[in-house]
Amino acid sequence: MIVPLEHVILLSLALFSIGVFGVLFRRNAITIFMSIELMLNAVNLALVGFSRYYDSVDGQVFVFLVMTLAAAEVAVGLAIIIALYRNRQTVNIDEINLLKN
Amino acid sequence: MPLSLLFYFAALIAVGSAILVVLNRNAVYSAIFLVLCFFSLAMIYLLLEAYFLAVLEIFIYAGAIMVLFLFVVMLLNLGREKALPHFMKFQRALSLMLVILFFFGVSLIMVVGSGELHQPTIKFSSGSVYALGEALFTKFLLPFEVASLLLLVALIGTVYLAKRKI
Amino acid sequence: MTNLQSLDLFWPELIITVVILTALIVDLCIEKSKSDVVGWVLVIGLLITAIAIWNQDKTTTTLFTDMIVLDPFATFFKLLIILSTLLVAVVSWQNNELDEYRKGEYFTLLGILVLGLFLMASSIDLIMVYISIEVVSIMSFILAGYLKLDTRSNEAGLKYVVYGAFSSGIMLFGLSILFGLTGSTNYFIIQKSLAGLDGSASAALVMALLMILAGFGYKISAVPFHFWTPDVYEGAPTTITAYLSVAPKAAGFAIIIRFFHQVFADGGALADAESLSMTDVPWPEIIGILAVATMTLGNLVAIQQESIKRMLAYSSVAHAGYMMLALPVLSIQTVYAIMVYLVMYLFMNLGAFFVVITVKNKTGGETFDDYRGLGWEMPFIGVVMTLFMLSLTGLPPTAGFIGKFYIFSALISGGSQYYWLAIVGGINSVISLYYYFHVVKVMFLEGERKETLVQPPEVMSGVLLATAIPVFLFGIYWNPVVNWVQNSLIFYVQTM
Higher-confidence residue of C295 and C493: namely C295
3-state SS string for C109-135: HHHHHHHHHHHHHHECEHHHHHHHHHH
Residues of B in contact with C177 (CB under 8 A): 110
User: What's the pLDDT tens digit per position in C280-338?
Assistant: 567 778 888 999 999 999 999 999 888 999 999 999 999 999 999 888 877 788 889 99
- pLDDT at residue number A100: 61
Least confident residue range of A13-17, B80-84, B113-117, C490-494: B113-117
Is 0.80 surpassed by the pTM of this model?
Answer: yes
A70-86 mean pLDDT: 92
Q: State the CB neighbour count (10 A cutoff) for residue C390.
A: 24
Q: What is the mean pLDDT of residues C21-40?
A: 89
Q: What is the CATH number of domain A5-88?
A: 1.10.287.3510
pLDDT, position B38: 95
Give the DSSP letter string of C297-337: HHHHHHHT-SBHHHHHHHHHHHHHHHHHHTTTS-SHHHHHH
Chain C, 148 to 177: residues with Cβ < 8 Å from chain B are 148-149, 157, 177
pLDDT of residue B96: 80
Contact A67/B68, CB-based, under 8 Å?
no
Q: What is the DSSP letter of C220?
A: T
Spatial separation of the C-alpha atoms in residues B63 and C170, rounded to whole Å: 25
Task: Give the lowest-confidence range in A64-78, C119-133, C271-285.
Answer: C271-285
Q: How many residues are recorded in chain A?
A: 101
* Chain C, window 16-75: residues with a beta carbon less than 8 angstroms from a chain A beta carbon: none
**Residue B1 confidence (pLDDT):** 60
Phi, psi of C307 (to 5 degrees): -95, 135
Q: What is the dihedral of CA B21, B22, B23, B29, to 10 degrees?
A: 30
Whole-angstrom distance, CA of residue C297 vs CA of residue C293: 6
Residue B88: predicted pLDDT: 65
Choose among C138, C155, C176: nearest Cβ to A98.
C155
Percent helix / strand / coil, chain B, rounded to 5? 75, 0, 25
Per-residue pLDDT reduced to its tens digit, C378-388: 889 999 999 99
Which chains border C (3 or more CB–CB pairs < 8 Å)?
A, B
pLDDT, position C312: 93
Query: If we measure between CA atoms, which residue out of C350, C290, C328, C300 comes closest to residue C89?
Result: C350
Which residue type is seen at C426?
A: G
Reported as a single tens digit per residue, the pLDDT across C386-400 is: 999 999 999 888 999
Q: What is the pLDDT of residue C280?
A: 57
Across the interface, whether the CB atoms of B143 and C128 are under 8 A apart is answered yes
How distant is the Cα of B102 from the closest Cα of chain C, in angstroms? 11
> Phi, psi at residue C297, to the nearest 5°?
-60, -45
Dihedral of alpha carbons A26, A28, A29, A34, sign: negative
Inter-chain CB proximity A77 and C141 less than 8 Å: yes
Reduced to 3 states, what is the DSSP secondary structure of residue C265?
Answer: strand
**pLDDT above 90 as % of chain C:** 58
Q: How many CB atoms lie within 10 A of CB A45?
A: 28
% pLDDT > 70, chain C: 95
Minimal Cα–Cα distance from C424 to chain A, Å? 27
- % of residues, chain B, pLDDT over 90: 40
Q: Rounded CA gap, B166 and C308, in Å?
A: 29
Instruction: Evaluate if residue C450 carries a pLDDT over 80.
Output: no
What is the structure's pLDDT at C275? Answer: 42
Write out residues 13-72 of B within 8 Å (CB-CB) of A. Answer: 14-15, 18-19, 21-22, 24, 27, 30-31, 34, 37-38, 41, 44-45, 47-50, 52-53, 56-57, 60-61, 64-65, 68-69, 72
> Using alpha carbons only, what angle is made at residue C319 by residues C318 and C321, rounded to the nearest 5 degrees?
65
User: C127: buried, middle or exposed (CB in 10 Å: 19+, 13-18, 0-12)?
Assistant: buried
CA angle, corner C404, sides to C418 and C444, nearest 5?
Answer: 135
User: pLDDT band at C208, cuts 50/70/90?
Assistant: confident
Mean pLDDT over C477-482 rounds to 92
CB spacing of C204 vs B147 below 8 angstroms: no
Whether residues A39 and C166 touch (CB distance < 8 A) is answered with yes
pLDDT digits (tens, 9 = 90+) for B34-47: 999 999 999 999 99
Q: Which CATH number applies to B1-82?
A: 1.20.120.1200
- Angle formed by the axes of helices C379-393 and C419-445, to 10°? 170
CB contact under 8 A, B136 and A68: no
Interatomic CA distance for residues B42 and B56, integer angstroms:
8
CB C104 within 8 A of CB C35: yes
Asked whether the predicted pLDDT for residue C359 surpasses 60, the reply is yes
pLDDT in tens, C238-269: 999 999 999 999 999 999 999 888 887 654 33
Q: What is the mean pLDDT of residues C20-27?
A: 92
CA dihedral C7, C12, C14, C20 (to 10 degrees): -170
Q: Do B114 and C3 touch (CB under 8 A)?
A: no
The Cα-based distances of C3 to B143, C8, C16 in angstroms read: 12, 10, 18
Largest CA distance in chain B: 60
Cis amide leading into C397 (omega within 30): yes
Cis link prior to C224 (omega < 30° from 0)? Answer: yes
CB within 8 A of B155, min separation 6: which ones? A75
Distance of alpha carbon C51 from its chain centroid, rounded? 22
Q: How far is C485 from chain A (nearest CA, A)?
A: 34
Domain positions in chain A are 5-88
Please tell me the predicted confidence (pLDDT) of residue C372: 87
Tens-digit pLDDT profile for residues C162-202: 999 999 999 999 999 999 888 889 988 888 887 777 666 67
pLDDT of residue C136: 96
Mean pLDDT of chain C: 88
